[in-house]
C-alpha cells in the first residue's frame, strides 16, 4: 500500500504520484515529500527575476513544483527560498544530477493517467458524502459558499456533478477587500456559468473607517470576519430558504491551518443561524486539490498563477509575509493605503518605531484597540441600602428610544407613568414575571437598574451591564444582526430591534456566538483596566 503521508515521483512520466506506482507507465515512483503545488509561468518568471537566477523550467508542465518555499524540479529539490517577504535563495540544491535529470514536457492527460485511481477515489467519496447529506436534510436547500478560492472551485464542481444539475445556488460574501483578481474571477465565473444562481452581498461600511473605530483586526481579534464576511453571508442565507435553512458546501480543509485540524465534516454554524456547513474535501491535501483542478480543467482564480498560495482578504492579519510581498508588487496602490494606515495607527498608540511595528507584523498580535480610554468603561454606583439597585453614568448621550432598544431581548417592556424622564418594567414574555426595572434620567445621562428577580441575579446583572457597554461603543457594524434567527435587529443608520419579531432567544446578548457579544466591545479590551472594581 502507498504511504498517504508522502508523495512519489514517476521518473518516466515526470509527474507527482498520489500513490507509489504510476498508473500510466507502471513504474514504481521514488518518495519525495508530503505535499506540493504546481508552479505557473508568471510565478516562475517573477521568482527568477527576484532571485536573479533563471529557473530551468517554465511551469509544472516542465517539472516545476513547490512545497512551501522549496522549489522542486523533476522530482528533485532545486532551491529553497526565504518565506519572510522578498524571496531569497537560502539553500541551493543544484548539482550535475539535478541538471541532467531532464524529461520531456507533460500535460494534464499524463498527470491524470498517472493518478487515475486516487483521483477517482477522492471524487467518489466526496460525491457520496454530498448526496448523503442532501438526503439526510431534505428540507434544507443545498448551496455552495463560493469564496473565489481554488478549494471552493473544486467544491462547486463536485456539488454540481453529484446532484446532476447546475442550478445550485452559489453565494459570495464580498468583504470589499478581496484581491482584484478575485473580483475578475467572480465576474468571469458568473459569465461562464450563467445558469448558476449567484447571490452576493457586502457590508456597506468602509473597512478603513471601521479600523479607525475598532483598531485594525488582529489574529487574536479578527473582528473583520464577523463584520465583513459573516454578516453578508447571513443576510443572503436567511433569505434563501427561511427557517428551513441551507446546507452550505464549503471548501474547508484540515491541512490549511491548525484551527481546522479538529473540524468535523459537518458543523452547525453559530454565527449564521440557519446554516449547516458541510465540508466535502476536508481531508484533501493541497496536491489533491491541484491535480483535481488541472485534470478536470476547472476554471480557477488567476491570482494563483502569480504565486499567491491563498486568496482571502488583502489585509488579513493571517497573511504570510510572502503573500504580503506579492500584494505590494501586484497591487501596489492597495498595499500602500493599508501600510500608511497601519503606520499612522502605530503612531497614535505611541509606538517608538511605527514602521518597524508594521513591517515586523507586531500589529497582527494585538488584543484590543489600544487608543485612549474606551467608552466601554462606565461609572457604576451601588445602593448601600439596597443591593438590588445600581446606577450607571453614561458618557454617550442617549434618548429614551435609543436606550430601550438594548433591553428588548430581555422580555416585554411595559412603560410606567412617571414625572421624571422614563421608567420601564421588563417582564418575562412567557410567564409574565417581573425581571428588572429600568429608569432613565436624560438630564444627567444616568440609568438606574432595580433587579426584581431572584433567579440567576449575578448573570442577569452582567448581561444588563454588557448591554449598556454595547450601547456606549456601538459602531453599527451589524455583527449582532447576523446571529439573530428572527431578523429582528436592524442597524441601518441606527440600532433598532423589532419587538414583534424578537422571541427573546438572547443570542445577541450571549457571549457564545460573538466574543463579549459585541465586536466593538471585544475590541476595547485593554488589559487590567478592564477588571477595575469600580467600573463595569
Give the Cα separation of 310 and 525 in Å (integer): 30
Going by DSSP bridges, is the β-strand pair 15-17/8-10 parallel, antiparallel, or unpaired? antiparallel
CATH topology (fold) of 115-306: Rossmann fold (3.40.50)
The pLDDT of residue 99 = 57
533: pLDDT strictly greater than 50: no
Going by DSSP bridges, is the β-strand pair 446-451/76-81 parallel, antiparallel, or unpaired?
A: unpaired
Return the SS3 of 444. Answer: coil
Q: Is the pLDDT of residue 257 over 80?
A: no
3-class SS at 23? coil
380 pLDDT band (50/70/90 cuts)?
confident
C-alpha cell at 2: 502507498
Residue 190: strand, helix, or coil: helix
Report yes or no: 463 and 470 within 8 Å, Cβ to Cβ. no
Write the burial class of residue 116 (CB in 10 Å: 0-12 exposed, 13-18 middle, 19+ buried): middle
What's the confidence (pLDDT) of residue 375?
Answer: 66
Instruction: Please write the tens of the pLDDT for every residue from 64-77.
Output: 999 989 999 989 89
CA trace torsion 282, 284, 285, 289 (10° rounding): -110
Grid coordinates of 313: 482578504
Q: 70-73 and 266-268: which strand pairing?
A: unpaired
Q: Is the pLDDT of residue 277 over 70?
A: yes
Q: What pLDDT, on a 0 to 100 scale, did the predictor assign at position 525?
A: 63
Q: What is the mean pLDDT of residues 74-95?
A: 89
502 — pLDDT class (breaks 50, 70, 90): very high
Q: Do residues 103 and 14 lie in contact, with contact meaning Cβ atoms separated by under 8 Å?
A: yes
Grid cell at residue 64:
516545476
Q: Are 536 and 378 in contact (CB under 8 A)?
A: yes
Are the beta carbons of 24 and 52 closer than 8 angstroms? no
pLDDT at 410 over 60: yes
Q: Is the model more confident about 448 or about 221? A: 448
Backbone angles phi, psi at 390, to 5 degrees: -135, 140
- Rounded mean pLDDT, 297-309: 95
C-alpha cell at 403: 436606550
* Cell (9 digits) for 398: 442617549
C-alpha distances in Å from residue 515, one per residue of 166, 219, 272, 373, 479: 38, 14, 15, 20, 11
Do residues 409 and 495 make contact, with C-beta atoms less than 8 angstroms apart?
no
pLDDT classification of 1: cutoffs 50, 70, 90: very low
Q: Which of 88-97, 298-307, 344-353 has the highest mean pLDDT?
A: 298-307
In the chain, list all ranges with CATH 3.40.50.620. 115-306
* Contact present, 398 and 471 (Cβ < 8 Å): yes
Cα-Cα-Cα-Cα dihedral sign, residues 522, 526, 528, 531: negative
Q: At residue 174, what are phi and psi to the nearest 5 degrees?
A: -80, 110
Residue 353 has pLDDT above 50, yes or no: yes
Range list of β-strands (E), 306-345? none
Q: Residue 228 corresponds to which cell in the numbers above?
A: 465583513
Mean pLDDT of 82-109: 79
Contacts 24+ apart (CB under 8 A), 202-209: 202/173, 202/174, 202/175, 202/176, 202/228, 202/232, 203/175, 203/176, 203/227, 203/228, 203/231, 203/232, 203/477, 203/478, 205/476, 205/477, 205/478, 206/176, 207/175, 207/176, 207/177, 207/315, 208/337, 208/341
Query: What is the grid cell recorded at 163?
Result: 446532484
Q: Closest Cα partner for 231 from 182, 183, 269, 181? A: 269
Q: How far apart are CA 11 and CA 103, in angstroms?
A: 8
Of the pLDDT bands very low, low, confident and very high (cuts 50, 70, 90), residue 492 is confident
Query: Over the stretch 36-69, which tens digit does the pLDDT of each residue have?
Result: 999 999 999 999 999 999 998 899 999 999 998 9
- Reading the block at residue 419, the C-alpha cell is 414625572
Q: Is 94 exposed, middle or buried (0-12, 13-18, 19+ CB in 10 A)?
A: middle
**148-160 per-position pLDDT tens digit:** 999 999 999 999 9
CA dist 33 and 17 (Å) reads 11
Looking at residue 270, its pLDDT comes to 76
φ and ψ at residue 32, rounded to 5 degrees? -120, -65
Give the number of C-alpha atoms closer than 13 A to the C-alpha of residue 20, restricted to the C-beta side: 8
> pTM for the complete prediction?
0.88
What's the rounded Cα separation, in Å, for the pair 309 and 468? 43
Band the pLDDT of 143: cuts 50, 70, 90. Answer: very high
Who wins on pLDDT, 83 or 291?
291
Residue 259: pLDDT over 50: yes
Q: What is the pLDDT of residue 6?
A: 84
pLDDT at 298 over 80: yes
C-alpha cell recorded at residue 484: 439573530
Sequence-distant contacts of 184-190: CB under 8 A, at least 24 apart: 184/302, 185/148, 185/300, 185/301, 185/302, 185/303, 186/146, 186/148, 188/299, 189/146, 189/299
| pLDDT surpassing 60 at residue 373 | no
The DSSP line for 125-142 is: HHHHHHHHHHHH-TTSEE
**What does the pLDDT read at residue 103?**
66
Local structure of 365: helix, strand or coil: helix
The H or E element spanning position 286 is helix 286-295
Nearest to 6 by CA among 36, 27, 28, 26: 36
Q: What is the overall mean pLDDT for the chain?
A: 88
Amino acid at each position: 500500500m502507498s504511504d498517504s503521508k508522502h508523495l512519489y515521483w514517476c521518473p518516466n512520466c515526470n509527474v507527482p504520484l498520489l500513490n507509489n506506482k504510476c498508473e500510466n507507465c507502471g513504474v514504481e515512483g521514488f518518495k519525495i515529500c508530503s505535499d506540493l503545488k504546481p508552479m505557473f509561468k508568471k510565478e516562475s518568471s517573477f521568482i527568477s527575476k527576484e532571485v536573479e537566477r533563471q529557473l530551468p523550467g517554465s511551469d509544472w508542465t516542465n517539472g516545476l513544483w513547490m512545497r512551501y518555499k522549496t522549489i522542486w524540479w523533476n522530482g528533485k529539490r532545486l532551491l529553497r527560498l526565504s518565506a519572510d517577504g522578498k524571496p531569497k535563495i537560502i539553500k541551493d540544491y543544484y548539482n550535475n544530477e539535478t541538471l541532467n535529470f531532464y524529461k520531456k514536457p507533460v500535460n494534464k492527460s499524463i498527470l491524470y493517467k498517472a493518478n487515475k485511481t486516487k483521483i477517482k477515489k477522492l471524487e467518489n467519496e466526496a460525491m457520496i458524502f454530498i448526496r448523503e447529506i442532501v438526503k439526510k436534510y431534505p428540507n434544507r436547500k443545498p448551496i455552495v459558499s463560493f469564496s473565489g478560492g481554488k478549494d471552493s472551485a473544486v467544491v462547486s464542481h463536485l456539488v454540481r456533478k453529484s446532484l446532476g444539475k447546475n442550478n445550485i445556488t452559489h453565494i459570495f460574501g464580498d468583504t470589499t477587500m478581496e484581491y482584484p483578481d478575485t473580483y475578475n474571477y467572480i465576474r468571469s465565473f458568473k459569465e461562464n456559468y450563467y445558469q448558476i444562481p449567484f447571490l452576493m452581498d457586502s457590508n456597506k461600511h468602509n473597512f478603513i473607517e471601521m479600523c479607525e473605530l475598532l483598531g485594525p483586526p488582529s489574529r487574536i481579534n479578527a473582528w473583520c470576519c464577523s463584520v465583513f464576511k459573516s454578516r453578508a453571508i447571513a443576510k443572503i442565507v436567511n433569505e434563501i430558504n427561511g427557517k428551513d435553512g441551507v446546507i452550505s458546501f464549503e471548501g474547508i480543509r484540515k491541512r490549511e491551518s491548525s484551527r481546522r485540524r479538529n473540524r468535523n465534516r459537518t458543523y452547525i454554524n453559530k454565527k449564521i443561524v440557519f446554516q449547516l456547513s458541510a465540508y466535502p474535501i476536508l481531508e484533501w491535501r493541497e496536491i489533491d486539490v491541484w491535480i483535481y483542478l488541472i485534470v478536470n480543467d476547472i476554471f480557477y482564480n488567476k491570482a494563483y498563477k502569480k504565486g499567491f498560495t491563498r486568496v482571502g482578504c488583502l489585509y488579513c492579519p493571517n497573511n504570510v509575509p510572502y503573500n504580503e510581498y506579492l500584494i505590494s508588487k501586484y497591487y501596489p496602490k492597495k498595499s500602500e493605503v493599508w501600510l500608511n494606515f497601519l503606520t499612522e495607527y502605530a503612531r497614535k498608540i505611541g509606538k517608538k518605531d511605527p514602521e518597524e511595528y508594521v513591517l515586523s507584523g507586531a500589529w497582527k498580535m494585538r488584543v484590543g484597540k489600544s487608543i485612549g480610554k474606551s467608552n466601554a468603561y462606565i461609572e457604576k454606583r451601588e445602593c448601600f441600602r439596597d443591593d438590588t439597585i445600581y446606577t450607571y453614568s453614561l458618557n454617550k448621550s442617549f434618548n429614551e428610544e435609543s436606550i430601550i432598544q438594548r433591553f428588548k431581548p430581555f422580555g416585554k417592556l411595559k412603560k410606567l407613568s412617571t414625572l421624571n424622564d422614563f421608567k420601564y418594567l421588563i417582564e418575562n414574555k412567557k410567564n409574565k414575571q417581573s425581571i428588572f426595572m429600568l429608569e432613565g434620567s436624560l438630564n444627567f445621562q444616568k440609568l438606574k437598574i432595580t433587579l426584581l428577580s431572584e433567579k440567576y441575579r449575578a448573570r442577569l446583572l452582567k448581561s444588563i451591564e454588557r448591554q449598556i457597554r454595547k450601547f456606549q461603543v456601538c459602531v453599527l457594524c451589524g455583527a449582532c444582526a447576523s446571529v439573530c434567527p428572527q431578523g429582528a435587529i436592524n442597524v441601518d443608520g441606527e440600532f433598532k430591534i423589532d419587538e414583534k419579531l424578537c422571541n427573546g432567544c438572547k443570542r445577541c446578548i450571549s457571549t457564545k456566538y460573538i466574543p463579549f457579544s459585541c465586536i466593538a466591545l471585544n475590541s476595547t479590551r485593554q488589559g487590567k483596566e478592564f477588571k477595575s472594581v469600580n467600573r463595569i
